[in-house]
């Protein structure tokens, strides 16, 4: 089955839209196939501002219908307490909010950007999507991340080479409470490192310290900017550490 086949039987759809590579291409494809589609971006404390900026930019460039929903995920104790399956409770809250808004807006089908490269398994977040009957056209059509990036580039989408980005909550160790202040510090720290030219990195929380993970090839750059980084981040954390281990990308 191709995306054209999928959308050929879909009259209208609501899309969970993050502004990332996958949901961006899915929005583009739906529009190209003539589907009446509305993109729903859910703004929470877990998403940095640049994600919303990217989502709005893409929607504007595509002439897409986009709606922003605001949700206080930290009001849910099962999310804020940060258990190992936190993602299940968070996804359930977010997609339930989209489903409710979409239904009120007259949309019958709810889509997300999970692709065929994503390891669905029994991950907590994927379990929530199944329970809410969310469709994943990219995955159902066997489209891998590499293919989505290639097609996005051919379509002229600026998101084609956007790095994968896990939500800010993943920077807090499981079992440690997530607070708005911890998320704010993470966003500020990562925004600063990004402004210095670092890419594909994470600033994780470790006993009140910033545990910075950058690709090995950026170690020299990190050491060259060490004084600037310490000066900025010491005001946010009680210590700044460079992690020498290879990170898993989450």
Q: What is the pLDDT of residue 247?
A: 58
Give the three-state DSSP class for 211.
Answer: strand
CA distances for 56 relative to 11, 23, 158, angstroms: 24, 13, 12
Q: What is the pLDDT of residue 95?
A: 96
Question: pLDDT (tens digit, 9 = 90+) per residue, 177-202?
Answer: 999 999 999 999 999 999 999 998 99
Q: What is the pLDDT of residue 108?
A: 87
Question: pLDDT (tens digit, 9 = 90+) per residue, 129-161?
Answer: 999 999 999 999 999 999 999 999 999 999 999
Beta bridge pairs of residue 70: 43
Q: What is the pLDDT of residue 248?
A: 54
Nearest to 21 by CA among 150, 204, 186: 150
Let me know: does 136 contact 112? Beta carbons within 8 Å. yes
Segments of the chain assigned to CATH 3.30.70: 179-242
Per CATH, the number for 179-242 is 3.30.70
Beta bridge pairs of residue 41: 68
Pairing of the two strands 12-16 and 36-43? parallel
Locus of tokens 């460079």: 242
Mean pLDDT score of the chain: 93
Q: Which fold has domain 3-161?
A: Rossmann fold (3.40.50)
Find the distance separating the first CA and the last CA of the chain, reported in whole Å. 30
Question: pLDDT (tens digit, 9 = 90+) per residue, 211-250?
Answer: 999 999 999 999 999 999 999 999 999 999 999 885 555 6
Lowest mean pLDDT among 20-24, 97-101, 125-129: 125-129
Segments of the chain assigned to CATH 3.40.50.620: 3-161
């Amino acid at each position: 089955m191709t995306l054209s086949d999928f959308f050929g039987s879909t009259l209208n759809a609501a899309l969970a839209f993050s502004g990332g590579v996958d949901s961006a291409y899915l929005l583009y494809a739906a529009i190209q196939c003539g589907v009446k589609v509305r993109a729903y971006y859910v703004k929470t404390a877990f998403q940095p501002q640049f994600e919303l900026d990217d989502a709005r930019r893409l929607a504007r460039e595509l002439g897409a219908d986009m709606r922003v929903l605001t949700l206080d995920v930290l009001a849910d104790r099962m999310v804020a307490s940060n258990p190992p399956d936190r993602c299940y409770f968070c996804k359930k809250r977010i997609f339930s909010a989209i489903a409710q808004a979409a239904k009120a807006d007259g949309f019958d089908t709810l889509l997300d950007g999970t692709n065929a490269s994503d390891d669905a398994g029994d991950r907590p977040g994927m379990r929530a999507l199944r329970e809410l009957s969310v469709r994943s056209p990219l995955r159902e059509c066997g489209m891998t991340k590499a293919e989505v990036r290639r097609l996005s580039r051919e379509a002229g989408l600026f998101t084609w080479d956007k790095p994968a980005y896990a939500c800010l909550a993943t920077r807090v160790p499981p079992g440690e409470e997530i607070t708005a202040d911890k998320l704010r510090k993470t966003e500020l720290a990562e925004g600063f490192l990004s402004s210095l030219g670092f890419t594909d990195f994470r600033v994780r929380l470790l006993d009140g310290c910033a545990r910075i993970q950058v690709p090995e090839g950026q170690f020299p750059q990190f050491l060259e900017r060490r004084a600037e980084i310490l000066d900025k981040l010491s005001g946010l954390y009680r210590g700044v550490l460079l992690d020498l281990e290879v990170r898993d990308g989450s």
